[in-house]
Amino acid sequence: MTKFVHTADIHLDSPLLGLVRYEGAPVEYLRSTTRRALSNLVELCLTEKVDFLLISGDLYDGNWRDYNTGLFLSAQFARLREANIPVFIIRGNHDAQSIITHNLHFPDNVTELSTEGPETHFLNELGVAIHGQGFGTRAVTDNISLAYPAPIPGLLNIGLLHTSAEGRAGHEPYAPCRVDQLTEKGYDYWALGHVHKREVLAENPWVVFPGNTQGRHINEEGRKGCTVVTADPGKINTVAERELDVLRWQRITLDACDAATTNDLLDQAWQATQMAQDANPNKFLALRFVITGATAIDRRLRTDHDYWVNNLRAVATDVSGGNVWVERVLVQTRPRVRLKEITEHHHPIAFLLDFIEQIPDNKQYVLQLLEELDDLQEVLAKLPNQPNLQEPEVYQALLADAAGFLTTRLYEAGGDTTDEV
């Protein structure tokens, strides 16, 4: 029986987005998460006693800042060489031949497949043929899988490919291909890379995105890892996910509707943080708190943002003993108003609220809004730890801010705003 590991999108030494230093945050530990995930990958290969390791592109995040990135990687590959585990690599869009200008000698157990055309490497003692081609330039827009060689009869045929497949949100359409084009090739397993969320596109034969090894921002939520495969010649037996990440990203929604005091909301945050920790044992967590609902404390939430951010950080530190980092706090609440009254009497605020609530579902309005925010985003991009206004969750928070501010200012002159009926 043959056993191998399929991984991709390691993005070694890629920075975490939104990393903010504050008292109690494990910042120095978090800076090394992609390296720790790679170490976990090597340890898994050694523990599972695999026959080889496949890396389907984006081993690096871009050109190295210095040689320390390559030296760390070389040391990890040397650990595999000592165990007689070969490594096969293709380049992706982030580590294409034209992008990586540094060169460093790797141990002789590492084979990088050509970027000029498909090639095949044989592991004769295992009855395995590995086919693949790396990216010579960042933007490969041709379907390079069409030129991959025919499968070798009697062997386990594996294809390495960095691709967007039929297209995935948030990923550039590089080396596009249809799933049926892959399944009809005759290979037993397609080891894909580029898409950062684990996804099995087909099972006969297997076509797999393993996802990246370590989430790097809030839009890469959930567990991250690799795939362990067992096979016989011409036949895949098992395909299993394995976790590698050391830091896990998660959104937590806090419903402020029933919060009468600040402590009510902080108690809810404490319980939610504890549940997140229980669900992800032995993991550092990066949490984004999103506060929603019509609430009596809307004004307090909006006018004293620093209070909430720092108290939620304190709650997270208290619950976790320093193993939770609060990435951001978004306030999407609105004040409690007499919604029935303003709706039934066609109050102008009702039309205002209805208009604002419909904006996220109206592509034309969203595009106009993003265009209006472009200049502001250019300024924010020059400052550290600022939100990305192009991120849907962020501009929706801005809309919620606008709705809350306008409702409060326009309605409070007419009376009590604390009872919703």
d(CA 35, CA 88): 19
CATH architecture type of domain 2-243: 4-Layer Sandwich (3.60)
What's the pLDDT score for residue 360? Answer: 65
Across the range 342-371, mean pLDDT stands at 64
CB 287 within 8 A of CB 316: yes
Q: 250 — phi, psi (to 5°)?
A: -155, 140
- Of 109-118, 136-145, 298-307, the poorest mean pLDDT is in 298-307
State percent of the chain over pLDDT 70.
Answer: 79
- Tell me which residue of 310, 267, 301, 292 sits closest to 393, measured CA to CA: 292
Spans of all domains in the chain? 2-243, 247-414
What's the pLDDT score for residue 261? Answer: 84
What's the pLDDT score for residue 418? Answer: 42
d(CA 89, CA 135): 11
- Tell me which residue of 261, 342, 348, 340 sits closest to 296, measured CA to CA: 261
Report residue 365 as tokens. Answer: 């309005």
CB 231 within 8 A of CB 188: yes
Q: Helix, strand or coil for residue 158?
A: strand
Report residue 239 as tokens. Answer: 């395909």
Confidence label for 125 from pLDDT (cuts 50, 70 and 90): very high
Check whether 382 has a pLDDT greater than 70: no
**Residue with tokens 């039929």, as numbered in its chain:** 166
For 197-230, the pLDDT digits (tens) are: 999 999 999 999 999 999 999 999 999 999 999 9
CA 313 to each of CA 23, 273, 297, 316, 419: distance values in angstroms, whole numbers, following the listed order? 9, 11, 19, 5, 30
d(CA 38, CA 59): 10
Report residue 280 as tokens. Answer: 């992800």
How remote is the C-alpha of 182 from its chain's centroid? 25
CB 83 within 8 A of CB 42: no
- Of 17-26, 271-280, 303-312, the poorest mean pLDDT is in 17-26
Q: 355 — phi, psi (to 5°)?
A: -65, -45
Q: 31 — phi, psi (to 5°)?
A: -65, -20
d(CA 407, CA 322): 39
Q: How many CB atoms lie within 10 A of CB 95?
A: 26
Check whether 398 has a pLDDT greater than 50: yes
Confidence label for 413 from pLDDT (cuts 50, 70 and 90): very low
> What average pLDDT does the chain have?
85
What's the pLDDT score for residue 216? Answer: 92
What's the pLDDT score for residue 85? Answer: 98
What's the pLDDT score for residue 384? Answer: 52
What's the pLDDT score for residue 133? Answer: 97
For helices 305-320 and 262-279, angle between their N-to-C axes, nearest 10 degrees: 40
For 145-187, the pLDDT digits (tens) are: 999 999 999 999 999 999 999 877 667 789 999 999 999 999 9
Confidence label for 144 from pLDDT (cuts 50, 70 and 90): very high
What's the pLDDT score for residue 135? Answer: 94
Check whether 281 has a pLDDT greater than 80: yes
d(CA 225, CA 214): 7
Across the range 239-252, mean pLDDT stands at 96
State percent of the chain over pLDDT 90.
Answer: 57
CA 394 to each of CA 46, 72, 77, 379, 388: distance values in angstroms, whole numbers, following the listed order? 42, 36, 40, 16, 7
Check whether 92 has a pLDDT greater than 80: yes
What torsion, rounded to 10 degrees, do the Cα atoms 181, 185, 190, 193 define? Answer: -40
One-letter identity of residue 214: Q
CB neighbour list of residue 109: distance below 8 Å, 6 or more residues apart: 77, 80, 81, 84, 85, 86, 87
CA 113 to each of CA 120, 141, 323: distance values in angstroms, whole numbers, following the listed order? 8, 19, 40
Check whether 60 has a pLDDT greater than 60: yes
Q: Specify which of 97-101, 222-226, 329-333, 376-380 reaches the highest per-range mean pLDDT.
A: 222-226
Between 88 and 233, the higher pLDDT residue: 88
d(CA 403, CA 337): 12
CB 3 within 8 A of CB 229: yes
What's the pLDDT score for residue 267? Answer: 95
What's the pLDDT score for residue 96? Answer: 84
d(CA 70, CA 371): 40
Confidence label for 421 from pLDDT (cuts 50, 70 and 90): very low
* Predicted TM-score (pTM) above 0.95: no
CB neighbour list of residue 42: distance below 8 Å, 6 or more residues apart: 76, 79, 80
